Structure 1
Amino acid sequence: MSSTSSSDQNLMISALGHDPLLLTNALCRACLESRCNIVSSRLTRHNDYCALILQVSGSWDALARLETNLPVLAKRENCQVQFSRTVNPELKQKALPYIIYVSAIYRADILPELCQFLIDHKVTLDTITYDSFLAPQTQTRMLNATLTITLPADMHISWLRDEFLDFADTLNLDAILEPWRPQLT
C-alpha cells in the first residue's frame, strides 16, 4: 500500500448496508485493491442498518480505479454507496476544541435548536452523537447528545458559556459546554 503524500487526493465514501462487518470488509478490501489509503472511518448501527463513512486518499488514478469499482461493489454486496472527491482543507486559523453534552426529555426540536445556536454564534460543528431511548425507571423518552465543536481562538469563552447556559435553561436542557480532552486509555 502506498503511503500518504502531499500530492494525494481524497474521496469521501458513505455506505448503508445490513451487515457492518461485511460492509466494512468489502469497502476496506476495495480500497486496498485500488491502492488507496483509509484516512478515517466511522461506523454506526441504526436498527437493522449500519452506516459507514470513509475518507480515503490516494493518487488520482488510484481514486479513479476505486470510483469505478464502487458501483459494482454496491450491487454485489447489496448495499448503497455514494462517493465524492474532496479538496484538502486550507490551513485553519487557531481554534479551540470544545464539547457539548446534552441530556433531556426527548423533543424533536432540540437538535435543530442546538445547530441554530451554533450557527448564530459562528461556532464550527465537527461531530454529533445523538441517541434517544426510554428511561428504564420511568419509561420516559429521553435523549443524549454529544457535539464536538470548534471555537474561534479570539472568542470570549466565558461569554459563550453564559449564552449557552441561558439557551439550555430556556429549552429545559441539562447541558454543559467544556473543553475537549483526549480520551486516555
Structure 2
Amino acid sequence: MNANTKEYLAITASGEDRVGLVEQLSNQITSSGCNIEQSRMGVLGGQFALIMLVSGPWNALSKLESQLPATGEELGLTIIHKRTQAREKGEALIPYQVEVVALDHPGIVHSLAQFFSRSGINIEELETDTYHAPHTGTQMFSVHMTVGVPAKMQISTLRDNFFAYCDDLNLDAVLEPARS
C-alpha cells in the first residue's frame, strides 16, 4: 500500500467533560500526521461526546490507532475507532433542513425517523434540545435535522405528506432546501 494514499479512520470519544479535551485530542491526531476531515462535538449533561473522521496515509493512521488507547486512558475518555473509506457518490441527493418544535413528549425523534425512513430519505444530521417556553414555562422539544432527499423525488408531494403528518401529531415544522 502506498504511504501517501489517503485513508480514513472514524473515531468516537466520550467521557466526563472538562476544559482542554478537544485541544489534547486534536494535538494527538495532528502530531500523528493525520488530519481531521469532519467532526461533531457536544456536551450532553456533564458528558463530552465527539465523533470525527480523520484522514492520512496508512502509516500515520496506524500510528494514531496504536496511540488511541493510551490517549483515552490519559484523557479519561472511552475512544472507539474503525477504519472506513470516503463516502461513495451514490444517488443524487438534495439536502433539506427540517425544523420541528412541539410540546415535549416521548417518541418525537422515533416518529420523525420513521416518517423519513418509510419515505426513502436518509437523515444526515440530527440535533435535538429541550427548553422551557418563555411565557408559560411549558417544556418544549426542538429538532433540527438535515435530510438527503433523492433528486428524483417529487418535492411537492414530500412537502404535502410531511406537513400532513406533522399536523396529525401537532408538530410545528419547516422543510426547506439547505443553505450552504
Q: TM-score, normalised by structure 2?
A: 0.93
Query: Does 2:111 correspond to 1:125?
Result: no
Instruction: Give the drift of 1:92.
Output: 2.6
In the alignment, the residues of structure 1 paired with residue 136 and residue 81 of structure 2 have an alpha-carbon distance, to the nearest angstrom, of 43
Give the alignment partner of residue 103 of structure 2, picking from 83, 101, 105.
105
Which residue of 2 is the match for residue 161 of structure 1?
159
In the alignment, the residues of structure 2 paired with residue 46 and residue 89 of structure 1 have an alpha-carbon distance, to the nearest angstrom, of 28
SS for the counterpart of 2:27 is helix
Percent pairwise identity: 35
SS for the counterpart of 1:65 is helix
Give the alignment partner of residue 133 of structure 2, picking from 132, 135, 150.
135
In the alignment, the residues of structure 2 paired with residue 93 and residue 79 of structure 1 have an alpha-carbon distance, to the nearest angstrom, of 37
Give the alignment partner of residue 15 of structure 2, picking from 14, 17, 20.
17
Query: Does 2:139 correspond to 1:115?
Result: no
* Structure 1 residues 180 and 108: CA distance shift in structure 2, 3 A: same
Aligned residue runs from structure 1 range 29-48, under 5 A: 29-48=27-46
Which residue of 2 is the match for residue 96 of structure 1?
94
Contact 2:17 2:43 in 1 (8 A): no
Return the letter of the residue paired with 1:92. Answer: G
Instruction: Give the drift of 1:6.
Output: 8.3
In the alignment, the residues of structure 1 paired with residue 58 and residue 74 of structure 2 have an alpha-carbon distance, to the nearest angstrom, of 25
Consecutive unaligned residues of structure 2, counting only runs of 5 or more, are: none
SS for the counterpart of 2:110 is helix
Consecutive unaligned residues of structure 1, counting only runs of 5 or more, are: none
Q: Which runs of 4+ in 1 moved over 3 A?
A: none
Instruction: Give the drift of 1:20.
Output: 5.2
Give the alignment partner of residue 51 of structure 2, picking from 53, 58, 65.
53
Which residue of 2 is the match for residue 179 of structure 1?
177
Return the letter of the residue paired with 2:120. Answer: K
Contact 1:100 1:177 in 2 (8 A): yes
In the alignment, the residues of structure 2 paired with residue 161 and residue 6 of structure 1 have an alpha-carbon distance, to the nearest angstrom, of 46
Contact 1:131 1:145 in 2 (8 A): yes
* Number of positions where the alignment pairs a residue of Structure 1 with one of Structure 2: 178
In the alignment, the residues of structure 2 paired with residue 95 and residue 147 of structure 1 have an alpha-carbon distance, to the nearest angstrom, of 15
* Structure 1 residues 133 and 6: CA distance shift in structure 2, 3 A: farther
Which residue of 2 is the match for residue 82 of structure 1?
80
Instruction: Give the drift of 1:135.
Output: 2.0
